[in-house]
């Protein structure tokens, strides 16, 4: 017997809303009919310009053409994030999307690298053995080599794009797949007196929109999961004290770098994200340690090009709803929680939630087993990202401002302390099979933040030191030579995906 389609109501038309609507319409057309409600008068957050490589998989599953998407969102390529001044003023390192070394041998490359350092043999910075780091600093870009045996295949990439253009791009995709859109301001949420399930949302016009399943993509206001269903918010600001950002785009007057920069500031950090038509900038800070006025002045002083908008302050709190799926409501995006943009994880979290929902899509009677599994997966993603972000702040030697004193001396979650201790002892990583931030990411941030292993895995003792040093040097040269043969990042974009010029 053919199953009845569920009426899915997506509440909100920001990045989260349209990603959910497009994915459900594309991947489950026989299981659901999608209606999205949004209010143009309220608008979207409109920041969120840097992404992680996982977004490529999302676009591919939706059949989105890469060059078309990049031209429409004025995107550039992103090979990683550069961190400046984090462990000490004057330091810098790049967290690359890709491996260090060639990925063969008994153990991971960083153990051989540690051994060379311990032996006092000539050895370069770890980043020089990474394809992505070398390309990024040389300002070059080409697609990865499809042959996995080649060193040119050992990197991945993401995009930097105009966040205000991504949702409209996805809207076209979703509507083309049959999703319906309703314009209007939601003023009430109706709950069933017996089950507590959401039955409908009410619009200012008086219209009601009924549904079987509600996807709450309403942003920070969290209309359904927070306001109507009262799901608790777990506040993580004791570890992640930044609670505001002041954003200010400028003209691109410096090189079009294929990476995002995150520069530590007195009370937080500052992003720089180069797009085809402008550069995004913003200062993420803790209002406990700096006033809005001083943060505004700091970003105005720091931008490296002519400003093209007034500085705009946004407020947020680090943390998440205890559960993201409650009754017949699934929260996706900012309504489910927020972790500050230091590692560009919000859009990834949207993707993870949408992916888990597609896999665990319910029948009319929602199974608690599916719902619990969804919540377990989302918890895992949030917890892991939380620990990774805290690492950047806590592993510092800076003591030049009250903010850095606080984060350096705060106690961190046990789950993170264990990871740090393991790495410090002999470079060992807590292994993950799935999800975000696998080994290379942790290695980059530990070493970049000056957590250098005191020893190495003993299997790295096998090759003689001289031979190892020669091999490492040959690898470094090979990587450099390949990067130098690649086109300049801007030149590659101009050939592959130039944005449409205004008429």
Residues taking part in catalysis: 78
Cβ neighbours around 40 below 10 Å, total: 10
Number of residues in contact with ligand FAD under rule CB under 6 A: 36
Q: Are 42 and 17 in contact (CB under 8 A)?
A: no
Closest CB to ligand FAD among residues 38, 457: 38
- Candidates 43, 176, 196, 402: give the one binding ligand FAD (CB under 6 A): 43
Does 311 interact with ligand FAD (rule: CB under 6 A)? no
Does 21 interact with ligand FAD (rule: CB under 6 A)? no
Does 49 interact with ligand FAD (rule: CB under 6 A)? yes
Does 98 interact with ligand FAD (rule: CB under 6 A)? no
Cβ neighbours around 418 below 10 Å, total: 12
Q: Which stretch binds ligand FAD (CB under 6 A): 340-348, 413-421, 457-465, 494-502?
A: 340-348
Closest CB to ligand FAD among residues 445, 483: 445
Q: Are 279 and 251 in contact (CB under 8 A)?
A: yes
Q: Which stretch binds ligand FAD (CB under 6 A): 49-57, 71-79, 142-150, 417-425?
A: 49-57
Closest CB to ligand FAD among residues 16, 174: 16
Closest CB to ligand FAD among residues 127, 311: 311
- Cα 271-275-280 angle, rounded to 5 deg: 30
Does 341 interact with ligand FAD (rule: CB under 6 A)? yes
- Candidates 6, 22, 44, 79: give the one binding ligand FAD (CB under 6 A): 44
DSSP 304: S
Least distance in angstroms from the C-beta of 368 to ligand FAD: 26
Tokens of 177: 């797949």
Can you list the pairs that 348-351 forms with residues at least 24 positions away whose Cβ atoms lie under 8 Å? 348/51, 348/52, 348/54, 348/55, 348/436, 349/378, 349/381, 349/382, 349/385, 350/15, 350/16, 350/19, 350/20, 351/19, 351/54, 351/55, 351/58
Cβ neighbours around 364 below 10 Å, total: 11
How far apart are the C-alpha atoms of 265 and 278, rounded to whole Å? 22
Place of tokens 């394809």: 131
Window 256 to 295, contacts with ligand FAD (CB under 6 A): 282
- Candidates 28, 33, 42, 297: give the one binding ligand FAD (CB under 6 A): 42
Q: Which stretch binds ligand FAD (CB under 6 A): 234-242, 343-351, 381-389, 441-449?
A: 343-351
Site mask for ligand FAD (CB under 6 A), range 129-148, x = bound? --------------------
Least distance in angstroms from the C-beta of 470 to ligand FAD: 41
DSSP string covering 260-301: EEEEEETTEEEEEEE-SS-EEEEEEE-TTTS-HHHHHHHHHH
Place of tokens 């992640």: 240
Does 217 interact with ligand FAD (rule: CB under 6 A)? yes
Closest CB to ligand FAD among residues 88, 185: 185
Does 219 interact with ligand FAD (rule: CB under 6 A)? yes
Does 47 interact with ligand FAD (rule: CB under 6 A)? yes
Window 176 to 195, contacts with ligand FAD (CB under 6 A): 185-186
DSSP string covering 407-431: HHHS---HHHHHHHHHHHHHS----
- Candidates 164, 252, 346, 449: give the one binding ligand FAD (CB under 6 A): 346
Does 211 interact with ligand FAD (rule: CB under 6 A)? no
Q: Are 108 and 288 in contact (CB under 8 A)?
A: no
Does 441 interact with ligand FAD (rule: CB under 6 A)? no
Closest CB to ligand FAD among residues 130, 222: 222
Q: Is 347 strand, coil or helix? A: helix
Closest CB to ligand FAD among residues 14, 258: 14
Q: Are 487 and 140 in contact (CB under 8 A)?
A: yes
How far apart are the C-alpha atoms of 312 and 247, rounded to whole Å? 5
The residues binding ligand FAD (CB under 6 A) are: 12-17, 37-39, 42-45, 47-51, 163, 185-186, 217-219, 221, 223, 245, 282, 314, 316, 333-334, 341, 344, 346-347
């Amino acid at each position: 017997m053919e199953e009845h389609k569920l009426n899915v109501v997506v509440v909100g038309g920001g990045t989260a809303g349209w990603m959910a609507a497009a994915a459900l319409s594309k991947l489950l057309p026989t299981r659901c009919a999608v209606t999205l409600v949004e209010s143009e008068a309220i608008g979207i957050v409109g920041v969120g310009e840097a992404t992680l490589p996982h977004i490529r998989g999302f676009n591919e599953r939706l059949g989105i053409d890469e060059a078309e998407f990049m031209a429409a969102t004025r995107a550039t390529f992103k090979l990683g994030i550069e961190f400046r001044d984090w462990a000490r003023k004057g330091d810098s390192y790049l967290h690359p999307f890709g491996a260090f070394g060639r990925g063969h041998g008994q153990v991971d490359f960083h153990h051989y690298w540690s051994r060379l350092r311990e032996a006092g043999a000539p050895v370069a910075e770890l980043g020089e053995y990474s394809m992505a780091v070398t390309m990024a600093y040389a300002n070059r870009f080409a697609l990865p080599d499809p042959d996995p045996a080649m060193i040119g295949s050992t990197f991945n990439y993401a995009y930097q794009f105009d966040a205000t253009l991504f949702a409209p791009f996805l809207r076209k995709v979703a509507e083309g797949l049959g999703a319906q859109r309703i314009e209007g301001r939601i003023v009430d949420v109706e709950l069933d007196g017996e089950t507590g399930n959401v039955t409908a949302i009410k619009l200012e016009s008086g219209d009601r929109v009924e549904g079987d399943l509600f996807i709450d993509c309403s942003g920070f206001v969290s209309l359904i999961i927070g306001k109507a269903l009262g799901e608790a918010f777990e506040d993580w600001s004791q570890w992640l004290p930044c609670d505001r950002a002041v954003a200010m785009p400028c003209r691109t007057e410096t090189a079009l770098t294929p990476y995002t920069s995150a520069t530590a500031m007195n009370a937080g950090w500052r992003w720089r994200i180069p797009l085809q038509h402008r550069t995004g900038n913003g200062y993420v800070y803790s209002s406990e340690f700096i006033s809005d006025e001083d943060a505004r002045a700091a970003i105005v002083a720091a931008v490296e090009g002519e400003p093209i908008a007034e500085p705009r302050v946004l407020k947020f709190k680090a943390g998440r709803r205890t559960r993201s799926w409650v009754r017949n409501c699934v929260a996706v995006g900012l309504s489910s929680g927020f972790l500050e943009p230091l590692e560009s994880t919000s859009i990834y979290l949207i993707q993870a939630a949408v992916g888990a929902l597609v896999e665990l899509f319910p029948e009319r009677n929602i199974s608690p087993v599916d719902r619990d599994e969804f919540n377990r997966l989302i918890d895992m993603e949030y917890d892991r990202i939380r620990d990774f972000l805290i690492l950047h702040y806590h592993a510092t030697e800076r003591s030049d401002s009250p903010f850095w004193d606080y984060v350096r001396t705060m106690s961190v979650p046990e789950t993170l302390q264990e990871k740090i201790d393991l790495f410090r002892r002999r470079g060992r990583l807590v292994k993950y099979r799935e999800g975000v931030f696998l080994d290379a990411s942790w290695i980059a941030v530990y070493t970049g933040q000056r957590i250098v292993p005191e020893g190495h895995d003993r299997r790295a003792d096998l090759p003689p030191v001289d031979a190892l040093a020669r091999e490492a040097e040959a690898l470094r040269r090979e990587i450099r030579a390949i990067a130098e043969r690649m086109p300049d990042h801007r030149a590659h974009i101009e050939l592959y995906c130039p944005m449409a010029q205004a008429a």
